[in-house]
Amino acid sequence: MSRANTSRTAARVFIGIGSNLGDRRARIEHACRWLSGHREMRLSRTSEIIETEPWGGVSQPRFLNAVAEITTGLEPGELLAELKGYERSVGRDLESGPRWGPREIDLDILLFGDRVLESADLTIPHPRLTEREFVIRQLRDLDPDLIHPGTGKLVSSYLRVT
């Protein structure tokens, strides 16, 4: 049996990975190994791991963040279920605490091929993608020609000029 599901067309997906509790770097590296070893995904590459300020107004430790590029035959909802299952398996409590509070690990679908999706559980592209400078930089570093499927603009065009 092959590692990737060949009965479906594989999509190119970008996943944001963050942690601000415990050994943050080890948690991100473990998440990347999990993505790499998953039978329904193929890890193509990852961005540099960078330290960022917390987002969302909750007082908490700084984050380490990375972006992973994968290919998968999973549908968006199936991928989301896999990511949330992984988060729970490494100790993240998805039901308690503030929405943008501290977390052991956070895996967010940023882009899923050229899909635009809005449901009760999932919005693609990620609804705050263009507000997070560090994510835009990491995406640009992985693919400078990456297009935001919701707007048709280069993802890098959302970088603030300073």
Does the annotation count 92 as an active-site position? Answer: yes
The catalytically annotated residue of 24, 27, 103, 132 is 103
Looking at per-residue pLDDT, the higher value among 31 and 4 belongs to: 31
What is the C-alpha to C-alpha distance for residues 94 and 91, in angstroms, rounded to an integer?
9
Residue 5: the pLDDT is: 47
Catalytic residue among 24, 92, 137, 140: 92
Residue 145 lies in a domain: no
> Does residue 5 lie in a domain region?
no
How many domains does the chain contain in total? 1
pLDDT recorded at residue 55: 74
Q: List the domain range (segments joined by +) for residue 43.
A: 11-128
The CATH number that applies at residue 97 is 3.30.70.560
Q: Is there a domain that residue 142 lies in? A: no
Q: Is residue 117 part of a domain?
A: yes
pLDDT tens figures, 23-68: 999 999 999 999 999 999 999 999 999 999 887 667 789 999 999 9
- The answer to whether 103 is a known catalytic residue is yes
pLDDT at 94: 62
20 part of a folded domain:
yes
The verdict on residue 156 lying in a domain is no
pTM (predicted TM-score): 0.90
pLDDT at 14 over 80: yes
93 burial level (CB within 10 Å; 0-12, 13-18, 19+) = exposed
Q: Is residue 17 part of a domain?
A: yes
Is residue 141 assigned to a domain? no
> Quick one: pLDDT at residue 161?
67
pLDDT for 116-162, tens place per residue? 999 999 999 999 999 999 999 999 999 999 999 999 999 999 998 65
